[in-house]
Structure 1
Amino acid sequence: MNLFSRLVLVLLIPVVVSGCGVLAAPCRIASAGIKMVPIIGHAAALPTDACAAVIDP
């Protein structure tokens, strides 16, 4: 394989797995854990919720 074909393969990987729920799982798991914290959990989990929404709309 030459350098160009390797580069194309590396650049195509995100396109192939975009929208994959498996990639959003770490964000969703972290969000669920943060939401268990009383009072501030839901507000603190907003960034992780946004992360999951971007990966898997």
Structure 2
Amino acid sequence: MRTLLLTLSAVLLSSLLGGCGALAFPCRATSAMIKIVPLVGHAAAIPTDACAAVIDP
């Protein structure tokens, strides 16, 4: 029974991370916070946008 639960939880976790969207979330959240800064926010967020694009195209 325990091995079945471990197997099911591993399959569920891998399906959630399959698109890598969860791994790109920190880059996207940081980018969104940087973009709030007036005038320079969008230019300063380019590296974090690139980070997210590499992780989750």
Superposition TM-score tier, normalisation by shorter sequence: 0.5 to 0.7
Equivalent residue, structure 2, for 1:43: 43
Choose between structure 1 and 2 for higher RCO, CA contacts under 8 A separated by at least 6 residues: 1
Any gaps of 5 or more consecutive residues in structure 1? 1-16
Compute the RMSD of aligned alpha carbons: 1.3
**1:1-57 residue CA offsets vs partner (Å, 9 max, x unmatched):** xxxxxxxxxxxxxxxx57410000000000000000000000000000000000000
TM-score by length of 1: 0.67
Identity, % of aligned pairs?
A: 73
SS at match of 1:27: helix
Moved over 6 A (4+): none
What is the count of residue pairs matched by the alignment? Answer: 41
Any gaps of 5 or more consecutive residues in structure 2? 1-16
